[in-house]
Structure 1
Amino acid sequence: MLSIYPCTTSSLTPKLTLTTRLHSRKQLKLKQTGFVKCVGVKRRRGSGVVFLRKDNKMSITEVREEEEEGPPLLEEIEGNSKPRRIALFVEPSPFAYVSGYKNRFQNFIRYLREMGDEVMVVTTHEGVPEEFYGAKLIGSRSFPCPWYKKVPLSLALSPRIISEVANFKPDIIHASSPGIMVFGALFIAKLLCVPIVMSYHTHVPIYIPRYTFSWLVTPMWLVIKFLHRAADLTLVPSAAIGRDLEAARVTAGNKIRLWNKGVDSESFHPRFRSQEMRLRLSGGEPEKPLIIHVGRLGVEKSLDFLKVVMDKLPDARIAFIGDGPYREELENIFSGMPAIFTGMLQGEELSQAYASGDVFVMPSESETLGLVVLEAMSSGVPVVAVRAGGIPDIISDDQEGKTGFLYNPGDIDDCLSKLVPLLANQELREIMGKAAREDMEQYDWRAATRKIRNEQYNAAIWFWRKKRAELLGPIQRFFRFIFNSPEVKYG
Structure 2
Amino acid sequence: MRVALVTETFLPKVDGIVTRLCQTVRHLQELGDQVLVISPAGGIKEYCGAQVHGVTGFPLPLYPELKLALPRPSIQTAIEAFQPDLIHVVNPAVLGLSGVWAAKTLNLPLVASYHTHLPQYLQYYGLSSLEGVLWQLLRLVHNQAQLNLCTSTAMIAALDRHHIDHLALWQRGVDVELFHPSKADPAMREHLSQGHLDSPLLLYVGRLSAEKEIEQIKPVLAAIPNARLALVGGGPHEAELRKYFADSPTFFAGYLTGEPLAQAFAVADAFVFPSRTETLGLVLLEAMAAGCPVVAARSGGIPDIVQDGVNGYLFEPTDPAGAMTATQKLLAQPSEKEALRQNARYEAERWSWQAATQQLQSYYQAVLRAYPAPVPIAS
Say yes or no: TM over 0.5. Answer: yes
Structure 2: runs of 5 or more not aligned: 375-379
Partner of 2:364: helix, strand, or coil? Answer: helix
Alpha-carbon contact 1:200-1:237 (below 8 Å) kept: yes
Partner of 1:241: 155
Structure 1: runs of 5 or more not aligned: 1-83, 468-491
| Aligned residue among 356, 366, 375 for 1:459 | 366
Summarize the alignment of residues 54-453 of structure 1 with structure 2, pairs less than 5 Å apart: 84-93=1-10, 95-128=11-44, 130-158=45-73, 160-251=74-165, 255-395=166-306, 399-453=307-361
Partner of 1:149: helix, strand, or coil? Answer: strand
Q: Deviations over 1:252-309 (max 9, x none)?
A: xxx1011100000011000110111111111211101111011111100011111222
- Report which of the two has the higher share of helix: 2
Partner of 1:385: helix, strand, or coil? Answer: strand
Partner of 1:121: helix, strand, or coil? Answer: strand
Q: How far, CA to CA, are the matches of 1:383 and 1:220 in structure 2? A: 32
Q: How far, CA to CA, are the matches of 1:308 and 1:414 in structure 2? A: 10
Amino acid paired to 1:377: M
What's the TM-score once normalised by structure 2's chain length?
A: 0.95
Partner of 1:304: helix, strand, or coil? Answer: helix
Q: How far, CA to CA, are the matches of 2:222 and 2:72 in structure 1? A: 50
Q: How far, CA to CA, are the matches of 2:104 and 2:98 in structure 1? A: 10
Alpha-carbon contact 1:283-1:338 (below 8 Å) kept: no
Alpha-carbon contact 2:209-2:238 (below 8 Å) kept: yes
Deviation at 1:458, TM superposition (A): 2.8
Alpha-carbon contact 2:7-2:92 (below 8 Å) kept: no
Deviation at 1:462, TM superposition (A): 4.3
Partner of 2:39: helix, strand, or coil? Answer: strand
Partner of 1:447: helix, strand, or coil? Answer: helix
Partner of 2:175: helix, strand, or coil? Answer: coil
Alpha-carbon contact 2:274-2:323 (below 8 Å) kept: no
Bigger Rg, which one: 1
Query: RCO greater where, 1 or 2, for CA within 8 Å and sep 6 or more?
Result: 2
Amino acid paired to 1:192: L
Q: How far, CA to CA, are the matches of 1:416 and 1:202 in structure 2? A: 27
Q: How far, CA to CA, are the matches of 2:63 and 2:20 in structure 1? A: 22
Q: Deviations over 1:177-232 (max 9, x none)?
A: 14211111111111111001010111111011212422211111111010011111
Q: How far, CA to CA, are the matches of 1:266 and 1:409 in structure 2? A: 32
Aligned residues: 374
Amino acid paired to 1:143: F
Alpha-carbon contact 1:319-1:342 (below 8 Å) kept: yes
